[in-house]
Structure formats: C-alpha cells, structure tokens
C-alpha cells in the first residue's frame, strides 16, 4: 500500500473511532496532511464522521480550496485544518469537535482546562480559548468559515496541542493521526474529570514538568489505544 493509501485508510478509521469514542457526533471532523504534498491536506466530504469510508476522503489546498472543483460538498469549517497545517509545520493531523465536556470549559474564563490526570498530561497548563468576537464581532454563527478566521484560530493555538473555541468546541493537533485521535479522546476525558473534581473542591493539577514527562511515556503507547479503538469501531460498523 502506498503511503497516501495508508493515510487515507487511517483517516477513514480515525473518523469512525472518534465517533465511537464519543468525541464527534453528527458533526466534527479529522484531517491529515497529505504525505507527499505538505501544501495539501485530506479531509472527508461534508458528512457525519461515523459514516466516513476511504471513498469519502477529499484533497484540499491549505486555503481550503478543493483540489477537485467538481467534487462533493466540503465541510464549512475546513479552514480550521488548512490554516493550522500552514501555521504549524510539525502538525500532521487535526481534530475539530464539539465534545460536550470540553465545551463547558470554553465558556468559563476563570476555569481554564488544565491537565488533571496522567493520560492527558499533554494538555499542560491553562489551555487557550479562541474568542471569535475578537476577530469577527458578536453576531457570527461561531463557525470558522473563512481563511481569516482559520488564521486567527491558529494564532490562539500557538505552539500548544489544544485550543478551545468559546461556546463551540475545540481543535486538537498531533504529529500523526494516531496521536491526534489519542489527544482528542483524552481531552474530553480530562474535561469530564476536571469538572467532576471542581465540584468536590480545589483540584491538584499536574505540573508542566509532570505533563511533559508523561507525554513522552504516552507517545510510546499510542498503538495500544488505536488498535483497541479500531477493533471496537469496526465491530460496531
């Protein structure tokens, strides 16, 4: 199998994993940088991620233009992906979702999302929140509909792995499809645990150094989660 065929296959699987792990529902998406052309990315056509197959994966320029002008309808928010790939040469995959526990933390400025458990140490301290009003005013539909909004989101993300989007969701990046999927799943887990802990009292969070150390460990274990989640997603199909 060519490298491109492998990436397309993994991307289709990743869509179904994210659905079965509760990160995406009828909405949300995951992209991968084109393995042979760093100035392009791969993303499903406009459809529910849990139904994506290899045949649904399309190719886009970084500005969000479909390579095939006669292709199927694209996602409205494809600009998230292209502008993050442009801003972050280290990023090979991007997950955008509306997973509910994470949305909560996008809405309370006094409670930033922070790493509270070892599986989500990559989150680190004080996750940034993108405020669309700062770029586009207070009357948008909150969606990243233009390259300009994609650039503004990339500015908020900076060099971090996760950016929350106020009242909307989050975007998670990774050096591989597997890492991005792992991070998206555990960003939602962390948000749920953090909200639970905050109801009990004042949580003890991971230090930046603990987060960095566990990230090195977890990066060596990505296949273990991927292989399980893939089997569960395929069994449910």
Query: Looking at the annotation, which residues are catalytic?
Result: 77
Please give the distance of CA 14 from its chain centroid, rounded to a whole number.
Answer: 11
Q: What is the DSSP letter of 39?
A: T
Q: Is 142 exposed, middle or buried (CB count within 10 Å of its CB: 0-12, 13-18, 19+)?
A: middle
* Angle of helix 147-157 versus helix 78-87 axis, rounded to 10: 50
Neighbours of 66 (CB within 10 A): 17
Question: Which helix (H) or strand (E) segment is 163 a member of?
Answer: strand 162-165
Write out the two tokens for 53: 């197959």
Neighbours of 42 (CB within 10 A): 24
Q: Residue 187 to residues 71, 124, 151, 180, 197: CA-CA distances in angstroms?
A: 33, 11, 22, 10, 15
**Residue indicated by tokens 């300009």:** 148
Neighbours of 176 (CB within 10 A): 18
Distance CA 90, CA 208 (A): 21
3-state secondary structure of 149: helix
């Amino acid at each position: 199998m060519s490298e491109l065929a492998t990436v397309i296959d993994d991307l289709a699987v990743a869509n179904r994993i994210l659905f079965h792990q509760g990160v995406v529902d009828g909405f949300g998406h995951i992209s991968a940088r084109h393995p042979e052309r760093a100035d392009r990315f791969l993303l499903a056509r406009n459809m529910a991620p849990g139904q994506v197959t290899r045949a649904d994966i399309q190719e886009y320029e970084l500005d969000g233009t479909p390579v095939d002008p006669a292709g199927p309808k694209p996602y409205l928010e494809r600009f998230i992906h292209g502008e993050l790939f442009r801003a972050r040469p280290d990023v090979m995959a991007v997950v955008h979702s509306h997973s509910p526990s994470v949305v909560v933390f996008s809405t309370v400025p006094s409670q930033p999302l922070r790493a509270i458990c070892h599986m989500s140490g990559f989150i680190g301290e004080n996750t940034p929140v993108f405020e669309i009003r700062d770029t586009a005013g207070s009357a948008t539909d909150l969606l990243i509909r233009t390259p300009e909004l994609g650039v503004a989101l990339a500015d908020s993300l900076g060099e971090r792995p996760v950016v929350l989007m106020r009242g909307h969701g989050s975007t998670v990046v990774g050096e591989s499809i597997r890492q991005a999927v792992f991070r998206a799943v555990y960003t939602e887990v962390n948000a749920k645990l953090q909200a639970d802990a905050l109801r009990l009292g004042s949580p003890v969070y991971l230090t930046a150094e603990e987060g960095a150390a566990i990230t090195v460990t977890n990066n060596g274990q990505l296949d273990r989660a991927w292989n399980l989640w893939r089997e569960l997603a395929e069994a449910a199909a």
